[in-house]
Structure 1
Amino acid sequence: MKPPTRESHVSPETRNAAGPVPRRAVTLAVLCAGMFLVLLDVTIVNVALPGIGRALGAGPAGLQGVVDGYAVAIAGLLLGGGALADRVGHRATTLLGLGLFGVASLACGAAPGAGALIAARAVQGAGAALFLPGSLALIAAMYPGRAEQARALGMWAGVSSTALPAGPLLGGALVDSAGWRWIFLLNAPIVAAAVAGVLVLVRDPGTRRGGAPLDRAGMMLAPLALGGLVWTVIAAGHGHARTATVAAVVAVAAGAAFAVAERRAAAPMLPGGLLRAPAFLGANGIALIMNLVTNGVLFVATLLLQQAGGRSAFTAGAMLLPMAVPLALLAPVGGRLTARFGPRLPLVAGTAIAAAGCLSLLRVGAASHATSYGALLPTLAAIGIGDGLIVTAVVAAAMRTAPPGRAGLAGGFNNTARQVGTALGVAVYGSVAGSALRPERFASGLHALAWVSVALWVAALALTWLVPAPSPRRRRDAATFRRRTEGTALSRLR
C-alpha cells in the first residue's frame, strides 16, 4: 500500500495547475530571474552613489534616500502586497509588480534630480513588494509536494542569492563603462522578457480568496508603521534627533491604529492566529536576524575596503565574493537538506556557523587596513555558508505555517521581516562603526559589532527550537517516496 505522503494528498486541481515538469522548470526560471532583478537593485546602486551625487548634486542625505527609499518601500508594502495577491490572484499581482518595477526603472534612469530619483526608487520598491509574495506563492502552487517544493525554493534562493555578488560587480562595470543611469535602464528589457514569460507560461492556480472585503485600513497603516520604524533607526543613526522623533511618533501611532484595525477587520490582513503561531514567528524572527547581521556586516565591510582601503568599487565587490559565493552555492543544498530532514537541521547548522565566524571581527585592527581583510575573511565566509544553509529553510518553514489560501501573505511577511532586517542592519551597524576614516573608532566599533553579531545569531539559534522538526513517520514517508521515485522522471509528480 502506498504510504500517505504529502505528494499523494495533493488535489487534482492543484496538480493540473502545476503543469508538466518542463513547463514548470521554465516558469521557475522566469520567476527566479524576476527575483534576481529585484534583489540586484538592493546592492547594485551602492557602487553608483558617487557618480549619482556628482551628476545630480545630491548630498549625503539625498544619497541615503536613494538607497533607503527602495528598502523602506519594500519593507512597508510587502504585507499589503501579500494580502492583495491572495485576494486578486498571484499571477495578476506578479505581472503588476513586474510592470511597475520596469516603468519605475526607466524613471530612475531618466531622473533629472535627486528628489525624482528617490521617488522613482520608492515606486520600484512598491513594484517589488507586489512581485515578491505573488511569485513565491506561484512557486508553492507549482510544486505542492513538500520535498519538491523545498527543492524548488532552494533553486529560487540559489539564483536570487547570486544578486549579492553580481550587484557590486555588475554595477561597478556599468558605472565605469556606460554611466550610472544604465544600472536602472538595463532593467527594462529584462522585465519585458519576464512579463512575456509569465503571460505565456504561468497559469492562474485559482488561489484567490473571495467574499470578505479587502483590509484597506491594514494595507495603509502597515507601511506607515514599518516605514516609520525603519526611518526612526536611520535618522537616529545619523544624529537627526528631530526627524527620528517624528518618525517614531508616526511608527507608534500607525502601529497602534493597525492593531485596532486588524481586530475590527472582517478579513484582517494579518490574522491574529498567524501571529500566535510560534513556528511562524520563529521562522520570521530568524529571517530578520539573518538579513540584519548579513547586510550590516556587508555595509561595514564595504566601508573598510573602500573608504579606508582606497580600493575601487569593482575591486571591493570582488573581495566580498567569499560571502556571496557560498550563499549562492549552498542555497540549493539547504533546500535538499530541508526536503530530507525538515527546516530545523539546516537552521541550527547555519546559525551556529555564522555565530562562530563573526568572532573574527575581533581581530580587525586599526594599524593596517591592508591586513584587515585577512581578519574579515573568516566572518564573510562563515556568514555566506550560514546564510546558504538558512535561506531556503527559513522560507520553507514560514510558508508551511500559513493557513490555506494565505501563501501570498506568508511570503510577504517573510520578505518583510528580511527587508526590515536589511534596513535596520545598515542603520545600526553603520552608526556603531562610524566612519572608516577614523581607524581607532572604526576598529573599536567593529569589535563591539562582533559581540552584537554573535548575540543575534545565538538568539536566532534559540528561535530554531520553535520550528517543528518532522515526525519520524514523515521522515519515513519522505524516504519511501524518494526511493520510489528514484530514477523516474519528475513529470510523474504533476
Structure 2
Amino acid sequence: MAAPAAGLLGTGRVLGLACAAQFMVVLDVSVVNVALPSIQTALGFDAVGLQWVVGAYAVVFAGFLLLGGRLADVYGRRRVFLWGLGLFSVSSLVGGLAVTPGVLVAMRAVQGLGAAMLAPATLTIVTTTFAEEPGRTRAVATWTAVSSAGGAAGNLIGGVLTESLSWRWILLINVPVGAVTALAALQLLPAGRPRTGPRKLDLPGAVLVTLGVTALVLGVTQGQTHGWTAPVTVAALAAAVLALAAFTAVEARGSASALVPPHLVRMRPVRVGNAVMLLAGACFIPMWYFLSLYMQNVLHYGALATGIGFLPHTVVGILCARLAPAVMQCMGARTLIASSALLSAAGFAWQSRIGASSGYVDGLLGPAIVMSVGMGLLITPITTTVTSGVGEQDAGAASGLMNTTRQLGGVLGLAALVAVAAAQPGTAASYQAVFVAIAVVCAGVAVLACALPAPRRADTENGTGR
C-alpha cells in the first residue's frame, strides 16, 4: 500500500521520522565509546585494535555515503531509507551477539554501510519536504539538533545499557527501534518515483573512495605503531593517494551517474562548506572517544557516571542548535560559523587543562558548556550553506557529500589523535595534548570559514545567510 503524501499527514511527522532515523545513525557513532573498556575486556581487543570498533563503522560510513546519496536520487528516498534501515538493524543484531573481535568489527562495518544509505536519505527528505525558507532552515536546525543529541546521548544511553544490562545491548537495542521506524516509514513516506532513464550507479567511484579512505586511516594507524617509514605504512599511504586520485579522475569525467557531479563541486558554497565540515568533523567526532576514555581511565568513572557526565554536552548542544536559525538571521552564516568555531576552540583549550585530580565542575562541566555552545551553533549554518541552492535532482548527492566530509574528518581526526595520545598512553598528559590539537583545528575552521561567500541581504533576512 502506497504511503499517503507528506502534505496529508503533516510535514512535522515526516520531519520527526527523518530525525528519528538520523538519531539512530549518529547514536551508533558514539554509543560504543562508554562501552569500550567492557568490550575490550570481554572480547580481548588490544589498544590499537579497539579503535576499529569505532573506526570500522566510521570508515565504511564515510566511504559509502556518496553512493548512498545517489541511491536515494535514483531509486527513491523511501526505498533507500528502508534498505538502509534493514541492513542497519540486522547487522546490529549479529554484532550484539558477537563472541570474537573480528565479528564485532565486521558487523560495525556493515552497520556503517546501512547508515551510509540511511543518513543521506534523512537529510534529503528534510530538504525536499521543506523546500522554502524560512521553514527549511528551521527544519535543518531540528535535524542538526537531533544529530547533536544522538552523538551526545549515545554516551548516556551506552552507559545505562552497559552498566544495567551488558555492552551487547548498545547494539541489540537497534533491532526493535529499527522495526518500529520501518513501520512508520511505510505509513509516512510517499513511495515516490525513481528517476527515469538508465539506473546506472558509480560503483567504481564508490569502491575507489572507500579503498582510499580505508588505506589512509590504516596508514596513519600503522604509522603510530610501526613508524612512518615502515614499509606497511608507506604502502598504505601510497595506496590511499592512488585510490583517491583515481576517484577524482573517475568523477571528473562528468558522467550522469557520478557520485559527485562536477557542477556541484564548482559551486563555491558546496566546495568551501564541505572543507569546513571536514575540519569540524575532525574536531567533534573524536571528542566523544577521548572524553569517554579520560573519564573512565583517568578519573575512574563507571560507565553510567561517564554517560551522565555527558549530559551538559547533550542539553547545551540541542538548545544552541535550535537557536542557530535566529542567530543566523542576525549575523549571517559565515560570521556564525567563524565565531562558533572560535568559541569551540576556547572550550577545547580549557578542556586541555584537565589532570588526574580535576573535579567535575572545573575539569568537565565548564569546558563542556563552552565547547557545546560552539558546536551547537556551528553545524546548522554549515549544513544550510552546503544544501541551499542545490536542485532537487542532486539533493541526495549534496547530502551524501556533506555527510561524507563530516565522517571522513572524524575518521582521519580519530586516527591522527590516537597517534598524538600514543606518545604518553593512558596518562592525563596524553588527553591534554589531544584537546590542544583539537583547539588548533577549530581555530582553522574559523579561518577557512572566511572563504565562504559573503551573505546577501535577502538571504540573511530569510535565514540562509548565503
Common topology (TM > 0.5):
yes
Identify if the C-alpha distance between structure 1 residues 230 and 163 changes in structure 2 by more than 3 Å, giving closer, same or farther.
Answer: same
Q: Report the equivalent of 1:49.
A: 36
The 8 Å contact of residues 294 and 431 in structure 2, kept in 1 or not, is answered as: no
TM superposition shift of 1:469: 4.2
The 8 Å contact of residues 156 and 304 in structure 2, kept in 1 or not, is answered as: yes
Q: Report the equivalent of 1:455.
A: 440
CA distance in 2, matches of 1:62, 1:360: 30
Identify if the C-alpha distance between structure 1 residues 172 and 405 changes in structure 2 by more than 3 Å, giving closer, same or farther.
Answer: same
Identify if the C-alpha distance between structure 1 residues 56 and 458 changes in structure 2 by more than 3 Å, giving closer, same or farther.
Answer: closer
Write the mapping of 1:422-433 to structure 2, written as runs, cut at 5 A: 422-433=410-421
Write the mapping of 1:82-481 to structure 2, written as runs, cut at 5 A: 82-206=69-193, 208=195, 210-211=197-198, 213-239=200-226, 241-264=230-253, 266-267=255-256, 268-338=258-328, 342-361=332-351, 363-365=353-355, 368-371=356-359, 374-434=362-422, 435=424, 437-439=426-428, 441-442=429-430, 445-446=433-434, 449-450=435-436, 452-475=437-460, 478=462
Percent identity of equivalent pairs: 34
Identify if the C-alpha distance between structure 1 residues 109 and 453 changes in structure 2 by more than 3 Å, giving closer, same or farther.
Answer: closer
**What amino acid does structure 2 have at the position aligned with 1:122?**
A
CA distance in 2, matches of 1:304, 1:44: 16
Identify if the C-alpha distance between structure 1 residues 45 and 375 changes in structure 2 by more than 3 Å, giving closer, same or farther.
Answer: closer
Structure 1: unaligned runs, 5 residues or longer: 1-15, 480-494
What TM-score, normalized by structure 2, do the two folds share?
0.90
SS of the residue corresponding to residue 370 of structure 1 reads coil
The alignment's C-alpha RMSD in Å is 2.5
Write the mapping of 1:14-53 to structure 2, written as runs, cut at 5 A: 18-20=6-8, 23-53=10-40
What TM-score, normalized by structure 1, do the two folds share?
0.85
**What amino acid does structure 1 have at the position aligned with 2:184?**
G
The 8 Å contact of residues 45 and 67 in structure 1, kept in 2 or not, is answered as: yes
Identify if the C-alpha distance between structure 1 residues 400 and 202 changes in structure 2 by more than 3 Å, giving closer, same or farther.
Answer: same
Identify if the C-alpha distance between structure 1 residues 401 and 436 changes in structure 2 by more than 3 Å, giving closer, same or farther.
Answer: farther
Identify if the C-alpha distance between structure 1 residues 162 and 314 changes in structure 2 by more than 3 Å, giving closer, same or farther.
Answer: same
CA offsets per residue over residues 446-494 of structure 1, 9 Å max, x none? 5xx42x3343223212232333344224456x49xxxxxxxxxxxxxxx
TM superposition shift of 1:261: 1.8
The 8 Å contact of residues 101 and 127 in structure 1, kept in 2 or not, is answered as: yes
CA distance in 2, matches of 1:71, 1:106: 18
Write the mapping of 1:59-74 to structure 2, written as runs, cut at 5 A: 59-74=46-61
The 8 Å contact of residues 138 and 205 in structure 1, kept in 2 or not, is answered as: no
The 8 Å contact of residues 6 and 189 in structure 2, kept in 1 or not, is answered as: no
TM superposition shift of 1:269: 1.8
How many residue pairs get aligned? The number is 456
**What amino acid does structure 2 have at the position aligned with 1:417?**
T
SS of the residue corresponding to residue 405 of structure 1 reads helix
The 8 Å contact of residues 74 and 199 in structure 2, kept in 1 or not, is answered as: no
The 8 Å contact of residues 336 and 377 in structure 2, kept in 1 or not, is answered as: yes
Identify if the C-alpha distance between structure 1 residues 130 and 212 changes in structure 2 by more than 3 Å, giving closer, same or farther.
Answer: closer
TM superposition shift of 1:41: 0.9
**What amino acid does structure 2 have at the position aligned with 1:103?**
V
SS of the residue corresponding to residue 343 of structure 1 reads helix
Higher alpha-carbon deviation: 197-206 or 368-377: 368-377
CA distance in 1, matches of 2:118, 2:6: 19
1:79 to 56, 63, 66: 66
The 8 Å contact of residues 218 and 258 in structure 1, kept in 2 or not, is answered as: yes
SS of the residue corresponding to residue 466 of structure 1 reads coil
Higher alpha-carbon deviation: 241-250 or 408-417: 241-250
TM superposition shift of 1:351: 1.3
SS of the residue corresponding to residue 208 of structure 1 reads coil
The 8 Å contact of residues 343 and 393 in structure 1, kept in 2 or not, is answered as: yes
CA offsets per residue over residues 303-341 of structure 1, 9 Å max, x none? 332211212122122223333321122111113444676
**What amino acid does structure 1 have at the position aligned with 2:247?**
F
TM superposition shift of 1:211: 4.3
Q: Which has the larger radius of gyration?
A: 1
Structure 2: unaligned runs, 5 residues or longer: none
